[in-house]
Amino acid sequence: MSMISAFYGSKSILITGATGFLGKVLMEKLFRTSPDLKVIYILVRPKAGQTPQQRVLQILNSKLFEKVKEVCPNVHKKIRAIYADLDQNDLAISKEDMQELLSYTNIIFHCAATVRFDDHLRHAMQLNVSATQQLLLMANQMTKLEAFVHISTAYANCNLKYIDEVIYSCPVEPKKIMDSMEWLDDSIIEDITPKLIGDRPNTYIYTKALAEMVVQKESGNLNMAIIRPSIVGATWQEPFPGWIDNINGPTGLIIAAGKGFLRALRATPMAVADLVPVDIVVNLTLAVGWYTAVQRPKSTLIYHCTSGNINPCNWGKMGHKHLMCIVPTSYLVGVTGPWMTKLMNRLLRTLSMLEYFINRSWDWSTYNTEMLMFELSPEDQKLFNFDVRHLNWMEYIENYVLGIKMYLLKEDMAKIPEAKQHFKKLRNIHYLFNTALFLIVWRLLIARSQIARNVWFFIVSFCYKFLSYFRASSTLNA
């Protein structure tokens, strides 16, 4: 019997961000491997006209949960959607719900966050820092709490080249910034944001780093752990390969490349594309929850969930898989036209936000993650596999792209040959356009410059000589 499955089998678990990409896969795996668990409390806000309960039903009716329904037919009775809004100071949880959470929660997985790179600092502070603080406050009052797992990001300290599994501090204390958010108005906050975030690239990364400081300061006697994933991608294996349902990270660009809107991208081809499949992140998260509760390490352990140092893939390889050109210096979007200007402007804006991450490489230590792997029984090493050494990138990316088509774009897979044909057509138009452009420029140059004319005659006579030599030697051989 798996020790990890048995451990969660009797627990009441609280998940924030359960309606998000990572949260859904986490819930799915928990139910599939520990169908006997008591309850999963999820903090949900109403969205797009749906109540929290309706949102849960929609998630349970999705393809992702098909296997769960087989092993845990009463899954809908085991999810308790609790109305909450992490944008509110008290998280807007009712008194009764709060009482229930404080009395019964055994494990917390805190996944909720704003992952927008350009969020206003006030909002990013509220969601990523203040809500984390509030949750820690709640956790400190929970009588049955065994472990609190906080999801951070491997890029929280991307201002450093080598990143260890420790908490680094930011120059200004999170409390001071939280206090100042209460009285500064939006425009002043905007003015001081670049100074505050310093050498971190955006408010998301900055506030995730501050959240770690809050965890360090306010975790009290809790059994606490932090997980830092790099760029989280589609599932590798579980519950099936290629599952993805949002356009964050590389996914949006893969779509843009696949649809032919994006032909080239300014990236460092050899820079490491530090992707980790979401099922790997989830397996590590569950293993960490178990280890933290059972072994109770003396201090907060940080676990890097990265791939670059173990099984690296680079942006050049990824771009090649998408028939896209990763160029070090030019920044070119191939198919243009006035009717596409708006779309292109948005794409360029997105690219400018992601550029920072595709032109650099980082070195993350993974001592704690490796230590944990050895602590697992052979059965758990298989069932909760977070070893990326055996991941075949080309196969993974192929499934990722197919997954985008199937689960995100909901396209008809029977139309793949047609789509390939369309892609080929766009590529040919692109080549034709470039050739025509080259010929026009060249023609203009020849007309105006003696040097260009000399180069042209040299090339033509060289080609002629080469052809004559080739013809003569093939006649002799015959």
Ligand X SMILES: NC(=O)C1=CN([C@@H]2O[C@H](COP(=O)(O)OP(=O)(O)OC[C@H]3O[C@@H](n4cnc5c(N)ncnc54)[C@H](OP(=O)(O)O)[C@@H]3O)[C@@H](O)[C@H]2O)C=CC1
Ligand Y SMILES: CCCCCCCCCCCCCCCC(=O)SCCNC(=O)CCNC(=O)[C@H](O)C(C)(C)COP(=O)(O)OP(=O)(O)OC[C@H]1O[C@@H](n2cnc3c(N)ncnc32)[C@H](O)[C@@H]1OP(=O)(O)O
What distance lies between CA 13 and its chain's CA centroid?
24
Cα–Cα distance, 284 to 437 (Å, whole number): 52
Amino acid, single-letter form, for residue 378 = P
252 binds, among ligand Y, ligand X, none (CB under 5 to 8 A by kind): ligand Y
Query: Given the complex with ligand Y, which of 165 and 375 has the nearer CB atom?
Result: 165
322 binds, among ligand X, ligand Y, none (CB under 5 to 8 A by kind): ligand Y
Minimum gap (Å) between residue 447 Cβ and ligand X: 52
Query: Given the complex with ligand Y, which of 224 and 271 has the nearer CB atom?
Result: 271
86 binds, among ligand Y, ligand X, none (CB under 5 to 8 A by kind): ligand X
Query: Given the complex with ligand X, which of 248 and 381 has the nearer CB atom?
Result: 248
Residue nearest to ligand Y (CB): 252
Minimum gap (Å) between residue 427 Cβ and ligand X: 29
Q: Which chain residues interact with ligand Y by CB under 6 A?
A: 115-118, 153, 155, 231, 247-250, 252-254, 256-257, 318-319, 322, 324, 346, 349-350, 353-354, 357-358
Minimum gap (Å) between residue 8 Cβ and ligand X: 20
Q: Which chain residues interact with ligand X by CB under 6 A?
A: 17, 19-23, 43, 45, 47, 84-87, 111-115, 127, 151, 153, 208, 229, 231-232, 246, 248-249
Nearest to 280 by CA among 368, 399, 130, 390: 390
Query: Given the complex with ligand Y, which of 72 and 273 has the nearer CB atom?
Result: 273
129 binds, among ligand X, ligand Y, none (CB under 5 to 8 A by kind): none
Backbone region of residue 260 per phi and psi (left: phi > 0; alpha: psi in -120 to 50; beta: other values): left
302 binds, among ligand Y, ligand X, none (CB under 5 to 8 A by kind): none
Query: Given the complex with ligand Y, which of 68 and 257 has the nearer CB atom?
Result: 257
Minimum gap (Å) between residue 189 Cβ and ligand Y: 18
19 binds, among ligand X, ligand Y, none (CB under 5 to 8 A by kind): ligand X
Minimum gap (Å) between residue 111 Cβ and ligand X: 4
Minimum gap (Å) between residue 407 Cβ and ligand X: 14
324 binds, among ligand Y, ligand X, none (CB under 5 to 8 A by kind): ligand Y
Q: Are 90 and 43 in contact (CB under 8 A)?
A: no
Minimum gap (Å) between residue 21 Cβ and ligand X: 4
151 binds, among ligand Y, ligand X, none (CB under 5 to 8 A by kind): ligand X
Q: Which residues, other chains included, contact 399 with Cβ-Cβ below 8 Å and sequence gap of 6+?
A: 234, 236, 241, 242
Cα–Cα distance, 249 to 467 (Å, whole number): 50
Minimum gap (Å) between residue 316 Cβ and ligand Y: 10
112 binds, among ligand X, ligand Y, none (CB under 5 to 8 A by kind): ligand X
Q: HSE (CB half, 13 Å, CA atoms) of 276?
A: 28
Minimum gap (Å) between residue 433 Cβ and ligand X: 35
Query: Given the complex with ligand Y, which of 68 and 401 has the nearer CB atom?
Result: 401
Query: Given the complex with ligand X, which of 17 and 334 has the nearer CB atom?
Result: 17
Query: Given the complex with ligand X, which of 325 and 351 has the nearer CB atom?
Result: 351
241 binds, among ligand Y, ligand X, none (CB under 5 to 8 A by kind): none
Minimum gap (Å) between residue 127 Cβ and ligand X: 5
Minimum gap (Å) between residue 382 Cβ and ligand Y: 28
Query: Given the complex with ligand Y, which of 69 and 116 has the nearer CB atom?
Result: 116
47 binds, among ligand X, ligand Y, none (CB under 5 to 8 A by kind): ligand X
Query: Given the complex with ligand Y, which of 60 and 197 has the nearer CB atom?
Result: 197
Cα–Cα distance, 373 to 100 (Å, whole number): 34
Query: Given the complex with ligand Y, which of 12 and 152 has the nearer CB atom?
Result: 152
